[in-house]
Structure 1
Amino acid sequence: MEKQTSKYRWVVFVSVLFTYLLIVSQRTAPGLISDQLMKDFNISASTIGLLASIQFFAYAGLQIPIGIFSDRFGPNFFLVIGALLNGVGTLIYSLASNEVVFLFSRLLVGIGDAAIWVNLVLILSQWFKVREFVGLLGIAGMAGSCGFLLATVPFSAWITLSGWRAPFFTTGIILIFAGMLLYFVLVKKPKTMVWNEAASKKPKKPREKTLVLLRRIFSNRQAWATFFCHFGVVGTYVGFISSWAVPYGMHVYGLSRSDSSQLIMVGLVGAIIGAPLTSWISSRIDSIKRPYLVVHSIVFLCWSSFLIMNGKPPIIMLTIIFFIIGYGNGASALTFAIVRKSFDIKEVGVVSGFANMGGFLSAVLLPGIFGKVLDHFHTSASSVGYHYGFIIPVVFSLLGLLGGMIIVEKRQEVLQSQVN
């Protein structure tokens, strides 16, 4: 029995995606209580930005090391540990009573989260053939968007009913159990099954030294293209909704927390649609670059519209804008389709980590800088600070567009010999 044709691969797929959905929800859920933490613990906007940034800083900084270790030692162990650390960090966050504990808990969550996506990509590469891979990446992206969606109206309503500590405590417990489930599905159960290992008995080439590998990747145009693509569409969206999106709706438009969460939910619906639809379009036209370039262009125009309209577009237009930038975040699954089609399977982990680092480096930078801008204009009308703050995602999304332009298209037929 081969992994890539066994029915068990779907058990792996569902288990990994369930855990990923939960983990993604905790990237943005703290943004729902930003203003409450500022009030209850006398925390400044800059510190709130730091809380989001430290999580994404750990995530971004560990992407390449995680990619290297996962390529060399396998992804299963790191995925299990990542889920457990995420759960423990979320538990500590639910019990925190001061800034130091808040920061430590988000750091733990970021370290755990760093091990998730890269290893998810590697696990899908191991259990599924390339012709299934692009479509499944779209579904994985959709699962991530559902995780973001979970952290809007449902999580907000839960916070309203029971306070903010109980939802985070419960989610932490569930994540710990999810980590245990992954250990059984990925490590323990496969050991009892007999796999066809004929392919693994082929003579192996000497493993390339880590510094040589990194030097080659850092000088590769395609690797930088994926880095900037992710920087432009993922970090801007994740960084904003994880920190300032809900306060933006409340302070600029006078919306309630629940109504502001519903507005953000529109963007998440776009992300849910964007992942599978853009992957399907890419497969249909046998091109990743063309649809991805269109997505980057439209996302850049959407962020620019905030500047053009002084930080406060009409509410109907705002809804459309969030839907489109959400769609762009979902379409970012194409970044890893580029990686899988452009690099050897032994390099997929480290290059995926490098690309993913771009998205979350952007998510690290945006909340903190945005918070600094808001603090600077705190005595002005609420929309003024946000107006100037939107310069940041405009510049970041422009870099994403440039990344899309320098992608070197590699068609499926050229790579057919590498499929299996």
Structure 2
Amino acid sequence: MTPRPRAIFFWATGVLAYIVAVFHRQSLGVAGIEAAARLDVGAAGLSILAMCQLLVYAGMQVPVGVLVDRLGSKRMLIVGALVMAGGELVFALAEGLLPGIAGRTLIGCGDAMTFISVIRLVRLSFPAHRNPLMVQLTGLLGQLGAIASAVPLIHSLHTYGWTPTFLIAAVVGVVSAFLLITVLRDTLPQVVGEPPSLKAAWAEPGTRLGMWTHAATQCSAAAFLLLWGYPFLVQGQGLTPSTAGVLLTTLTLCGMVCGPLLGYLAGRFPFHRSRMVFVVIGTTAGTWTVVLLWPGRAPLWLLVVLMAVLAANGPGSMIGFDYARTFNPATRIGAATGIVNGGGFVASILVIALIGVTLDLRGDNGLDAFRWALATQYPIWALGAFQVIRYRRKARRNLLAAPRTNP
């Protein structure tokens, strides 16, 4: 097998592991109502489950990034797959909040090791001008896991029940680990040169530009898919579970269309990447404003529009990883990617928490309560946009002072 097909083959193996990781990550999103009943928790309790998973995920991004730079992608992907399988096993048997937290924490821990490892495969295996598109394709294909965690998981929960559904999810994780052990090889040896440096990655304004880009563009869709979208559609908008599942799948499918387009545009017009970011933030905030101010329940067509707009959030957040690649050498790409990814998920945790706390303060899960809860997203968008402008200026000044690569 020649070098290029070999690189694509190993990348595809890593992407398969990422698809499984996304499935594990978002399996709570459509199980929120069942989880509340099984674990005997309210809105705040559900927020705690999602927050613990994401806190571990976000908190591990930087150390995992450093480890990926030192140990390579294969080892980290295998460990991540096995840890997530263990988390699904614990969650399948959980009957209270604490065991539920333990299961979701393990899933967050294993998930943290996956995406960064695949991004390293991309960075070291493909030429620079192909990187934005390959990163978007990675995110796009990963959404197949989100599709599997929507309608199929809802059907399994209603047909087979809680424990069999999540035991099957654990088996899927074990199969993923076996494939990684038998098939994957790191496509290139560790780069020799500048040693991995977390301090240097953080000091680079381009890394923080990527972090705030990821935070501002990802948080709304992440909170929607990971926890609050399904309850909002079913309890707030009065849709049937099957219709809500179709809408969540629509969001994912639209994201799979947006990803390659944004990847191509980011690679073709690198000086306009921040404008793409502002378009994503602006259209997301604007569409949510229409939905939240709509008198009564929003019509189905408007909810479909919301799904299409939220679909651009994930691909938009991938531009943050392209900033990390642009402004950092290969030897610290794991650390820089970890910083970018961690920032995005910290923002997502904050939005999930604010929505849950607001719902509990309102004392119900009706439409008006969801309106107040979802309005807590606006300060996050505003702060993220401000920081993108701030670090864009700093990154451009550094490039002009010491040019080393295309922006």
Q: Provide the TM-score with structure 2 as the length reference.
A: 0.90
* Corresponding position of 2:373: 389
Aligned residues: 400
Opposite residue 145 of structure 1, the aligned amino acid is Q
Does structure 1 residue 303 correspond to structure 2 residue 296?
no
Aligned CA-pair RMSD: 2.7
User: Deviation at 1:294?
Assistant: 1.9
SS in 2 for 1:242: helix
* Corresponding position of 1:331: 316
SS in 1 for 2:41: coil
Does structure 1 residue 278 correspond to structure 2 residue 276?
no
Distance 1:105 1:372 in 2: 22
* Corresponding position of 1:49: 47
5 Å matches for 1:3-152? 5-152=3-150
Distance 1:360 1:285 in 2: 27
Structure 1 residues 367 and 289: CA distance shift in structure 2, 3 A:
closer
SS in 2 for 1:332: helix
Could you give the per-residue CA deviations for residues 253-280 of structure 1, whole angstroms, max 9, x where no partner exists?
2212111111222221221112111111
Structure 1 residues 373 and 348: CA distance shift in structure 2, 3 A:
same
SS in 2 for 1:32: coil
Distance 2:205 2:286 in 1: 25
Distance 2:383 2:10 in 1: 36
Q: Is the 8 A contact 1:141 1:276 kept in 2?
A: no
Distance 1:365 1:286 in 2: 30
- Which range is displaced more, 66-75 or 80-89? 66-75
* Corresponding position of 1:236: 220
5 Å matches for 1:285-364? 285-287=269-271, 288-309=273-294, 312-364=297-349
User: Deviation at 1:114?
Assistant: 0.7
User: Deviation at 1:311?
Assistant: 8.3
Q: Is the 8 A contact 1:289 1:404 kept in 2?
A: yes
Q: Is the 8 A contact 1:302 1:324 kept in 2?
A: yes
5 Å matches for 1:133-212? 133-187=131-185, 204-205=193-194, 207=195, 210=197
Distance 1:25 1:232 in 2: 23
User: Deviation at 1:393?
Assistant: 2.0
Does structure 1 residue 369 correspond to structure 2 residue 367?
no
User: Deviation at 1:356?
Assistant: 0.3
Opposite residue 361 of structure 1, the aligned amino acid is V
User: Deviation at 1:312?
Assistant: 4.4
User: Deviation at 1:296?
Assistant: 2.4
User: Deviation at 1:310?
Assistant: 6.8
User: Deviation at 1:417?
Assistant: 7.6
Give the gaps of 5 or more residues in structure 2: none
User: Deviation at 1:78?
Assistant: 1.2
Structure 1 residues 341 and 98: CA distance shift in structure 2, 3 A:
same
Distance 1:416 1:173 in 2: 49
SS in 1 for 2:239: coil
User: Deviation at 1:161?
Assistant: 1.9
Give the gaps of 5 or more residues in structure 1: none
Q: Is the 8 A contact 2:224 2:230 kept in 1?
A: no
Distance 2:295 2:356 in 1: 18
Instruction: Select which of 223, 228, 240 maps to 2:207.
Output: 223
Opposite residue 48 of structure 1, the aligned amino acid is L
Could you give the per-residue CA deviations for residues 296-320 of structure 1, whole angstroms, max 9, x where no partner exists?
2222322333443378433311210
Distance 1:221 1:417 in 2: 14
Opposite residue 59 of structure 1, the aligned amino acid is Y
Distance 2:141 2:296 in 1: 31
Does structure 1 residue 398 correspond to structure 2 residue 382?
yes
User: Deviation at 1:18?
Assistant: 1.0
User: Deviation at 1:164?
Assistant: 2.8
Structure 1 residues 311 and 297: CA distance shift in structure 2, 3 A:
farther
SS in 2 for 1:244: helix
Q: Is the 8 A contact 1:310 1:383 kept in 2?
A: no
Distance 1:284 1:227 in 2: 22
User: Deviation at 1:73?
Assistant: 2.7
Q: Is the 8 A contact 1:223 1:354 kept in 2?
A: yes
Structure 1 residues 337 and 41: CA distance shift in structure 2, 3 A:
closer
Opposite residue 298 of structure 2, the aligned amino acid is P
Structure 1 residues 11 and 309: CA distance shift in structure 2, 3 A:
same
* Corresponding position of 2:234: 250
Distance 1:378 1:334 in 2: 38
User: Deviation at 1:15?
Assistant: 0.9
Distance 2:183 2:405 in 1: 28
User: Deviation at 1:172?
Assistant: 1.3
